[in-house]
């Protein structure tokens, strides 16, 4: 009779740009002792967060199987990840619709018998070892080299692990929802040891974290937060902490909150003409100046804006100046917030572009890598630029509320990236002139979309 081997796999993946330079990390842990048995990490080129997370899972399961190749059915692996998407899909509770995810999920499922693997979602703070490995891999790729285990310091950042008593994990599908809720309640009132390796922590709630649109549309169980991390409050003081979606984030502090204001109308706006950074740089029209003034009154009454940044294009600078004059603030120019360059389409209507450049337009609508005719920017290029600007601004304005005056494409891109939605989702967002959208960015990298296309201040 084979000796049971019980292992824990912690895995993570990341993408700097989503899609952008990506890497994964995975660690295999002895469930009985908490000892690290194996580490794996790799830079995988340009990919999305979700692809990198699945690649981390595959690497972790592969490493676990390689440690005990002859264990057969005696091998038991408990996977812990901070990706609700991967955990729910691999547990069979969410459907897998995205074409990039299906083959990766199939690869992961084929490594070990399904009965040998269980899954648990954990907060990102409890997945530091794998997260650090993924970041080491991305750093290595940035420097043009491969990750090397001998140079890794990821384990130094890992939290201390308590050996697991010889019992099943209460938070996975085997134990069921009733035991999960009981363990969660016990942990919140301090009657259970939430620090053991498989115990459900107060933060491991049933509410989902950010997922891609395909997973949300598939109708997963229970309410799905737009974005955020799950962490149930353990005290009254923690319960008062900022909220992300439906879940509290007691340890993340005040987020950097971006109030995204689209500029007021120009003469091109009501005619629905392409007006990017490669065109005439029009000024605000009379209607646009009135919209900017109304926005200024709104933000003065609100009293929450602490800083203002804006695109270098004239229509944004004029809109930002109207608000800044009312609030008595300076305006900082951020070049990464400029509108997309629409190449030869600048100044044309959608119909005119379809008539003159029909094939190019069709390709642009279908593929985010395709640029407009004549050397414009693709959505992928814009996303990389906007994500870099976002990272600079969240670092500069951590914990502050910032008015970000910019354009349609950058605002839709920031919302899309916060939701981890595909590029095509941008064609399904309405964004009016001088509308307000809001995204909050937390210290652990998660984002919460709080408002989209609000125009109530203009009425």
Helix axis angle for 314-327 and 286-302, nearest 10°, is 40
339 belongs to the catalytic site? yes
Across 51-86, b (16+ Cβ under 10 Å) vs e yields: bbbbbbbbbbbbbbbeebeebeeebbbbbbbbbbbb
Choosing from 78, 98, 129, 263, the catalytic residue is: 263
- Residue labelled with tokens 């490594």: 111
Q: Are 260 and 434 in contact (CB under 8 A)?
A: no
Instruction: Give the number of other CB atoms < 10 A from CB of residue 143.
Output: 9
> With 0-12 CB in 10 A as exposed, 13-18 as middle and 19+ as buried, what is 144?
exposed
State the Rg of the chain over Cα. Answer: 24
Phi-psi category of 34—alpha, beta or left, where left has phi over 0 and alpha has psi -120 to 50?
Answer: left
Candidates 268, 271, 229, 273; CA nearest to 251 is: 229
- Distance between CA 426 and CA 162 in Å, rounded? 45
Choosing from 10, 42, 53, 339, the catalytic residue is: 339
Q: Are 206 and 86 in contact (CB under 8 A)?
A: no
- Distance between CA 268 and CA 282 in Å, rounded? 8
Backbone φ and ψ of 343, nearest 5°: 55, -130
Catalogue the active-site residues: 263, 339
């Amino acid at each position: 009779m084979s000796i049971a081997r019980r292992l824990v796999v912690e895995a993570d993946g990341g993408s700097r740009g989503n899609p952008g330079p990506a890497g994964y990390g995975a660690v295999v842990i002895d469930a009985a002792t908490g000892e690290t048995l194996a580490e794996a990490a790799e830079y995988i080129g340009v990919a999305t967060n979700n692809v990198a997370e699945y690649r981390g899972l595959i690497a972790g399961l592969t490493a676990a199987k390689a440690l005990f190749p002859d264990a057969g059915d005696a091998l038991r692996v408990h996977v812990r990840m901070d990706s609700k998407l991967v955990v729910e899909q691999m547990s069979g509770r969410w459907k897998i619709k995205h074409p990039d995810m299906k083959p990766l999920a199939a690869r992961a499922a084929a490594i070990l018998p399904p009965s040998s693997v269980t899954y648990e979602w954990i907060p990102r703070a409890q997945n530091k070892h794998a997260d650090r490995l993924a970041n080491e891999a991305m750093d290595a790729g940035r420097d043009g080299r491969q990750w090397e285990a001998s140079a890794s310091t990821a384990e130094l950042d890992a939290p201390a692990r308590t050996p697991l008593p010889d019992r099943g994990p209460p938070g996975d599908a085997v134990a069921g929802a009733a035991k999960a809720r009981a363990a969660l309640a016990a942990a919140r009132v301090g009657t259970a040891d939430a620090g053991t390796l498989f115990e459900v922590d107060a933060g491991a709630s049933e509410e989902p974290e950010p997922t891609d649109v395909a997973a949300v549309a598939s109708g997963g169980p229970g309410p799905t937060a737009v974005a955020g991390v799950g962490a149930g409050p353990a005290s009254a003081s923690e319960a008062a902490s900022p909220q992300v979606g439906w879940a509290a984030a007691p340890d993340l502090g005040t987020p950097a909150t971006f109030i995204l204001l689209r500029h007021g109308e120009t003469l091109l706006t009501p005619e629905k003409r392409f007006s990017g950074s490669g065109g005439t740089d029009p000024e605000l029209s009379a209607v646009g100046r009135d919209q900017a003034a109304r926005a200024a009154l709104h933000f003065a009454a609100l009293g929450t804006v602490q800083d203002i940044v804006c695109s270098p294009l004239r229509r944004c600078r004029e809109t930002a100046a109207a608000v800044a004059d009312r609030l008595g603030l300076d305006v900082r120019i951020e070049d990464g917030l400029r509108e997309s360059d629409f190449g030869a389409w600048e100044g044309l209507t959608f119909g005119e572009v379809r008539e003159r450049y029909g094939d190019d337009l069709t390709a642009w609508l279908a593929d985010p890598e395709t640029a407009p005719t004549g050397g414009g920017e693709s959505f992928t290029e814009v996303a990389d630029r906007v994500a870099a600007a976002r990272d600079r601004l969240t670092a500069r304005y951590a914990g502050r509320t910032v008015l970000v005056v910019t354009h349609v494409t950058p605002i839709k891109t920031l919302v899309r990236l916060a939701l981890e939605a595909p590029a095509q989702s941008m064609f399904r967002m309405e964004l009016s002139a001088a509308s307000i959208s809001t995204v909050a960015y937390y210290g652990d990298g998660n984002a919460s979309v709080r408002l989209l296309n609000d125009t109530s201040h203009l009425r």
